[in-house]
A and B are shown apart, each in its own frame.
Chain A
Amino acid sequence: MSAIDQSKIRNFCIIAHIDHGKSTLADRIIERTGLLTEREMQSQVLDNMDLERERGITIKSQAVRTVYKAKDGQEYIFNLIDTPGHVDFNYEVSRSLAACDGAILVVDAAQGIEAQTLANVYLALDHDLDVFPVINKIDLPSAEPDRVINEIEDVIGIEAQDAPQISAKTGLNIDEVLEQIVKKVPAPGGSPENPLQALIFDSVYDSYRGVIVFCRIMEGRVKKGTKIRMMATGAVEEVVEVGYFGAGQLIPCEELSAGMVGYITASIKNVKDTRVGDTITDQENPCAQPLPGYKKVNPMVFCGVYPADGAKYEDLRDALEKLQLNDASLFFEPETSIALGFGFRCGFLGLLHLEIIQERLEREYNLDLVTTAPGVVYKVHKTNGEVMDLTNPSNLPDPSEIDYMEEPMVKAEIMVTTDYIGPIMELCQERRGQYQGMEYMETTRALLHYHLPLNEIIYDFFDALKSRSRGYASFDYEMLGYEQSDLVKLDILVNKEEVDALSFIVFAGSAYDRGRKMCEKLKEEIPRQLFEIPIQAAVGSKIIARETVKALRKDVLAKCYGGDISRKRKLLEKQKEGKKRMRQIGNVEIPQKAFMSVLKLDDK
């Protein structure tokens, strides 16, 4: 392949609120630039995983390269980098943005700007990207493009009068978008003659080739045989292959040079060595400094994951190891629970990440899992001066050894129509939010700023927000650091026995309320048994709530079946089977789903 003219490269991404049509627009761009015929086009090429397609979100970053013949007669190379669309993956988003030179902002012509739109735009502007807006879904009857254009100009402060008004679904005005990419996204800078400096924005594990690193070359060049070094992890490897991204396939090429987006393979065995955000340089001719912005992402949410069938422990370990090959942000270590046996304490970037991993374990590895209530990482300052990161409530030291505790806080932005400001402020208050201020975007919409404890939003905050605003509120957050807080461990006793897997850390002021709800919920979940079962919530030795599962009074088959004993047996077998799916705690059988009940405590 002949050398590529750097001035003809356009590296860009699409940013949007969920459901505003990001992936559909990506599909249209790929289709129009002739990479795929319509026939080959499977809806939403960039969302590879089944899960992504089902949930309509992008979990991993993806990239694709296409060639566009513009109206000026020139051919341009488009590198479209698709970014994850969820706050759990904010860091990945920021690294993907750093690999681009411009961004298309997709705004739904009916919905207008949402909290996530703003968060992503600010993120893009922070990375000095040129952002140009596109108004999507103008074919909808409720579309108000003019209002949305004004909103974009007023709220974000970027020029929007000439924004293409498109329908990604029908393909209307897509050409305008393509022309604007050529005109508004700057050509990449950097020089092929400088020492190699490449940004890793993703990596995937392939069982044949090892880790495949997705990167943007900022300076210099790389080709087969180059000895590369990951500047943060220190890993050194020789390049086996470089190339770029076709649709759903990797296309090898001679070399990657400054301004290009592509992949590198180098028989790297583990994605841990190729952290997102790290800088790749040439071992022989290193660059002076790594690219800015690298950080090691730490899991924010932890929970216990146990095989429903204790014999599947090793299978679970294998599955987690395989998932980790592809997902450096997944953390796990073995743990033991009195109630649940052998399992793992797993760490995730957020609740969505947790759900995705859980679903993949169940679907792709066919495992039946019991998971405990997710919790955040607390900092426990002990009286002896030690500080411990608490990821499992069971490990909380004795209160006499604790000086004070801290919990992680987030800075949240909630966009809401003015009608629902009241209910949303109430919700934030209930969740111990600290009001930071409010801005009116237009007369009908406002942006609320709050500081909230992370543990108040990981479970069901998003659902509560939606239900209290009838779906009109949108929400985004970023981490803010730790704050001292009055926290206690809430224990649950079933038939007077503490069930370790049901303990959780809670704000002292909410303990009574949470304890009561937890007992009520467990009362619903635990089937009646042959004796009365007290369910108690306790803080330390103090019982703060109690419910009772009444004894089963009557379960008798007083019916004439003649000699059809097989039918009787089937009934008993069914009963026995039901018992098997439960966990035995002392004398009491607890169904697996009870261990997740803390998740469903709120919002009646």
Chain B
Amino acid sequence: MKKDLGLYIHIPFCVRKCAYCDFLSWKGSEEQREEYVRALEQEILSYKEFGADYQVSTVYFGGGTPSILEGEQIERIMEAICRTFRITGKPEITLEMNPGTALREKLELYKRLGINRLSMGLQSVKNENLKLLGRIHTYEDFLESWRMAREAGFDNISGDLISSLPGQTLEEWKEELEILMETPLEHISVYQLILEKGTEFYEKYGGHEELLPDEETSAEIYLWTGKYLKSRGFEQYEISNYAREGRQSAHNLRYWERKDYLGLGLGAASMIRNMRMTNTRSWDKYMAYCRDPRKIREEVEFLEEPRQMEEFMFLGLRKTRGVSRKEFYRIFGRELDQVYEKTLRKYLDQGLLKESRDRIWLSDQGILVSNQVFADFLFD
């Protein structure tokens, strides 16, 4: 039987760099974009032999802003994928897009190519926030994109929001979510603003954390989000993800469940059979060696069993349903409770972890301090 695989396709271009963004992305010229798509096609095709052992059930176009590419370019990438990999009957194929970058024809083309899920980078429903974040679009652009996507036949649309913006209060955040509810969505991701080095925001707010919502406000915003979205039919399934029934992102879950995925394109990360690797972030290197994936891979690391166990815990516990003792035993042949006896006891006692006979998961309070808990699942 063929093994299951997910594909991540990185498109490193965007119309303009946002003030908070530290991802590998920049504007790029038309020529550069075309050059990149060609190289990407080569990279994908070079996996022909490897691809024979797998069948692909999820594809994710991320960025950057994939929708900045011409429709025809996305088409060529999809073609390369189909020539290289066998795709299962009902795949989940997601494309990230920014409001204002995809017109009707593009959306209709996406639909024809088999893309069946859109992830819209809305970030905020308030135009002053969008401006602060350095976004190129307005809330009205989002409404327009959403309407066109629905008309093109997309019935699985996700919206991304960023919370804990400078000066944000819980009340303001409540308003945002209430406005968001006016537009029917199937899935919502809420990220909390993190100041990352090298971004405009870091320059502006680094060392001035008093301008950002304090820890207590952020915690309230976080907890309230879960409660409110639940009341509106969105179940939280991961630290930052909420979905209507049956609309969880299969590709995202793959990361937390440690299923194999292959990253394609500049700087894309892969995990194949406990081997983690990341493609080069160097444009020249990528262009030169796109036909020979071994030469563009950097940071290749095979995860020994203890590392696998650690990941099993700190990734699995990101999901609200947590981890399964049975599954741990099935994979590692050891009892989870023995391997992590002290850590589990400590956090169960503190009420940060909860358990049933099989499963262990983070409580709401546990999620709030999850980094502390996760760090304890690393071995000495």
- Chain A positions within 8 Å of B, measured between CB atoms, are 529-531, 552-560, 562-566, 568-569, 571-573, 575-576, 579-580
Contacts and interface: CB of A to CB of B under 8 A. Distances in A.
Nearest to B189: A560
A573 B374 CA distance: 10
Contact of B8 (A562, A566, A571): A562
Main secondary structure of the interface of B (DSSP, over half): mixed
B218 to A, nearest CB: 5
B101 interface: no
A554 B375 contact: no
A262 B316 CA distance: 75
A554 B369 contact: yes
Contacts of A571: 371
B234 interface: no
A575 B369 contact: no
B191 A576 contact: no
Given A557-B239, A560-B191, 6 more contacts: A554-B215, A554-B219, A554-B369, A558-B190, A562-B255, A572-B371
A556 B255 CA distance: 17
A566 B378 contact: no
Contact of B239 (A556, A564, A580): A556
Interface stretch (B110-118, B134-142, B263-271): B263-271
A572 B369 contact: no
B263 A563 contact: yes
A563 B269 contact: yes
Across chains A and B, which 3 residue pairs bring their CB atoms closest together, nearest first? Answer: A575-B375, A558-B192, A554-B219
Main secondary structure of the interface of A (DSSP, over half): loop
A559 B192 contact: yes
Contacts of A554: 215-216, 218-219, 222, 368-369
A559 B194 contact: yes
Given A552-B372, A555-B368, A575-B371, A563 B255 contact: yes
Interface in B156-200: 160, 189-192, 194
B75 interface: no
B74 interface: no
Contact of A552 (B261, B271, B367, B369): B369
Interface string B214-256: 0110110010000000000000000110000000000000010
Contact of B314 (A530, A553, A562, A568): A568
Given A563-B270, A565-B311, A575 B372 contact: yes
B278 A564 contact: yes
A448 B315 CA distance: 68
A566 B271 CA distance: 10
A579 B380 CA distance: 11
Contact of B276 (A529, A530, A552, A565): A565
B5 interface: no
Given A530-B350, A572-B314, A553 B255 contact: no
B240 A559 contact: yes
A553 B215 contact: yes
A563 B191 contact: no
Contact of B369 (A555, A568, A579): A555
Contact of B255 (A530, A558, A565): A565
B374 A563 contact: no
B301 interface: yes
Contact of A556 (B311, B350, B368, B376): B368
Nearest to A560: B191
A568 to B, nearest CB: 7
A580 to B, nearest CB: 8
Nearest to A556: B370
A556 B318 CA distance: 10
A562 B265 CA distance: 13
Interface string B289-308: 00000000001010000000
Interface in B334-380: 350, 352, 367-372, 374-376, 378, 380
A490 B218 CA distance: 39
A562 B62 contact: yes
Contacts of B301: 566
Contacts of B372: 529-530, 552, 555, 575
Nearest to B307: A569
B371 A555 contact: yes
A79 B42 CA distance: 83
A528 to B, nearest CB: 9
Interface string B117-148: 00000000000000000000000000000000
B350 A566 contact: no
A556 B369 contact: yes
B192 A566 contact: no
Contacts of A572: 314, 371, 374-375, 378
B269 A562 contact: yes
A87 to B, nearest CB: 41
Nearest to A562: B62
A530 B239 CA distance: 19
Centre residue among B222, B367, B372 by max chain A CB count within 10 A: B372
Contact of A557 (B215, B261, B370): B370
Nearest to B190: A558
Contacts of A562: 8, 62, 255, 269
A572 B376 CA distance: 9
Nearest to A568: B314
Centre residue among B271, B371, B380 by max chain A CB count within 10 A: B371
A573 B276 CA distance: 17
Nearest to B373: A530
A553 B367 CA distance: 10
A563 B368 contact: no
Contacts of B261: 563
A553 B350 CA distance: 14
A556 B375 CA distance: 11
B276 A566 contact: yes
Contacts of A560: 160, 189, 191, 240
A586 to B, nearest CB: 12
Contacts of B269: 562-566
Nearest to B258: A565
A530 B370 contact: no
A555 B370 contact: yes
Contacts of B315: 565
A569 B368 CA distance: 18
B169 to A, nearest CB: 16
Contacts of A563: 8, 255, 261, 263, 268-271
B239 A558 contact: yes
A566 B269 CA distance: 9
Contacts of A576: 375-376, 378
26 contacts: A529-B372, A530-B369, A530-B372, A553-B215, A553-B219, A553-B369, A554-B215, A554-B216, A554-B218, A556-B239, A556-B370, A556-B371, A557-B371, A558-B222, A558-B239, A559-B194, A559-B240, A562-B8, A562-B255, A563-B263, A563-B269, A565-B255, A566-B269, A569-B310, A575-B371, A579-B375
A533 B104 CA distance: 58
A558 B314 CA distance: 13
Contact of B368 (A531, A553, A580): A553
A434 to B, nearest CB: 47
Contacts of B268: 563
B280 to A, nearest CB: 14
Contacts of A529: 372
Contacts of A568: 314
Nearest to A531: B350
Given A554-B222, A556-B239, A565 B371 contact: no
B84 to A, nearest CB: 19
A565 B268 CA distance: 11
Contacts of A573: 375, 378
A188 B268 CA distance: 84
Contacts of B240: 558-560
Contacts of A579: 375
Contact of B192 (A556, A575, A580): A556
A558 B188 CA distance: 13
A560 B191 CA distance: 7
Contact of A565 (B216, B222, B271, B375): B271
